Structure 1
């Protein structure tokens, strides 16, 4: 069994605890937390399993890594603390662990990663013998392995589009929704996540990764952005009130230009309430979240994936599939050589040994 640490117990970390507990090759060794209110609580409780696992959460990073775990799921956010997240990951890789994380956007595509991110990781790999695999929380598979799989079903591909269609009204990450994305702020507010160049910084690696797999050369990456105000004040269950006239919807594209045209596109369509921007694309059944891949070519192929977790919550379902992609890669990475990996290196694994297994 591979001793596995889950570092961070927020939206992704909760799902990661459940995924580690379900995996027949992994055993949960520790749960690392930041908030003092979580220290000492059982990981099963923090993960929403409805039962105790006998693993008490701790904030003692030195002791946890000093025990030389086989793997670390780094589920702490890197949105507002990229330098700290990189330092944490480098520390874990240097301790000899296989590390999987969605937190380091710059390392989605390892070949084109900035040296200031890539070089410290490679130095830690050389010194400690660990590995790193980064995949997105948006979730990553919807912008790499799924579109590439679908693209292989046709004869020609003119363009590839990956869409995330998401209603934030059920989401439970208020700082990111309000401050980073700008929901509920006046339209004059400039959300940090939507500032020119930032979408490319976050999703450009996935554009380059798709191009690499398709044997295409990206000439440049362009961005488009559209924002919509709320027509009426709305109230959400998890984040409270969002006033009329404030930002209620965002639609942007990160476009990989190949042969002078946008051939590889990652598009996000997000709302704080279904009433905002009803003319924009919505999930097929009108629910709160879906991921869609469209291959324009011969034949034209369109695939939509919906996932629900923690009840019927599709925002939680997206987090769960992102965590599942990472956790399910751990045993493959442990068997592989130490190194820095991306989604083109790490295969999507079948759920071997888990058919019929149930969790609360």
Structure 2
């Protein structure tokens, strides 16, 4: 089942509707406007014969093998209800690496009660801040430091709420209460990545801190084509966070997350959509640099939502097969595509 239909959740529904090995049986929605409708209609595809609901009880009663939790907020209590009912859960927000997290006992107990498995992942944290760096360390040695950089242009991203509330784009500049809460939320997420990378490198995790934050302001008012979000002149059109993680006195991981709604915001900011979206550099023996991006002409932010959706769906088979408990990418086999369609045109 799919829980919620934002930018990534809606893409999950579209992909599951045509998946050759999985059956979508239920869709949970947040708003009354989306409830009681055919799930296909909600996400812009032909009818699926699945009526959306706002009731978690109704979804649990369907007894699916697995659920993808794509809410804008992390909700361990609701996720625990699913797990305790025997439903394996993958979430795109929170729960990436639970060692030492306050919800660890709640979720672990729920997994034991229901015989279910819980895992998390996504893009950041996930792809750039832990999965790709950890994968690359398997091809080198004597790792001294890892730089992981995400630079996404989000003009085509489909969710205005996530751009505004999750990145601060379109908001007035300055250390407002909302900006402080946003920084704290991102630090919480990056802590999971830092702990996971430390575990993979077999070094103790000491701390992580935000070591830089920069914003760039729009010089004119623009309406983003993907979400309809209006970024007024003088509001935040680009934001870049940097976090540094330490093992004892030594910095072993630096994560940079740059998100831009407008190109050419000034020196050092993204000039074109052709610049790499992700770069990981390892100071190691041998040193490595890996970049990952989109082919020319791809609407990068929309593809980013598709990337997160594909990852969620591809994890499900391994999630269902795994022993009960809370797991991370360190515990799962290598995740590969679950719906290869050789010889067909790309949807």
| Partner of residue 77, structure 2 | 87
Q: Deviations over 1:172-225 (max 9, x none)?
A: 332333344332333234264655644321210111101100111222212123
Aligned residue for 1:249? 238
Residue 262, structure 1, aligned to residue 251, structure 2? yes
**How far has the Cα of 1:259 moved from its partner?**
4.8
> d(CA) in 2 for partners of 1:208 and 1:251?
22
2:277/2:292 contact within 8 Å kept = yes
**1:1-360 to 2 correspondences below 5 Å:** 5-48=1-44, 50-78=45-73, 82=74, 85-103=75-93, 105=94, 107-114=95-102, 117-138=103-124, 140-190=126-176, 192=178, 194-195=180-181, 197-230=184-217, 232-235=219-222, 236-237=224-225, 238-280=227-269, 285-286=274-275, 290-307=277-294, 312-352=298-338, 354-356=340-342, 360=347
The whole-number CA distance in structure 1 between the counterparts of 2:326 and 2:143 is: 30
> For the structure 1 residues 312 and 262, does the alpha-carbon distance in structure 2 shift closer, same or farther, using more than 3 Å as the test?
same
Report if the CA contact (8 A) 1:45-1:51 is conserved. yes
* Worse overlay, 217-226 or 52-61: 52-61
Q: Is the 8 A contact 2:134 2:197 kept in 1?
A: yes
Cα distance, 1:231–1:13 mapped onto 2, change above 3 Å: closer
Q: What are the Cα deviations for residues 86-106 of structure 1, in whole angstroms up to 9, with x where unaligned?
A: 222111111110111113x2x
CA–CA separation in structure 1 for the residues paired with 2:202 and 2:138: 13
Q: CA RMSD in A?
A: 2.6
CA-CA distance at 1:109 after TM superposition: 0.8
1:153-175: CA deviation from partner (whole Å, max 9, x where unpaired): 22332211221101232223323
Tell me the CA shift for residue 130 of structure 1: 1.9
CA displacement, residues 125-168 of structure 1 (integer Å, 9 cap, x when unaligned) = 22222221111343612222211121222233221122110123
Q: Deviations over 1:323-352 (max 9, x none)?
A: 222221212222222111112112232225
In 2, Cα distance between equivalents of 1:43 and 1:175: 21
Output the TM-score relative to the length of structure 2. 0.88
What is the SS of the residue equivalent to 2:239?
A: strand
Shift of 1:23: 4.1
CA contact (8 A) 2:218 2:262 kept: no
Gaps of 5+ in 1: none
TM-score w.r.t. the length of structure 1 is: 0.85
- Identify if the C-alpha distance between structure 1 residues 6 and 233 changes in structure 2 by more than 3 Å, giving closer, same or farther: same
Give the C-alpha shift of residue 359 in structure 1.
Answer: 6.5
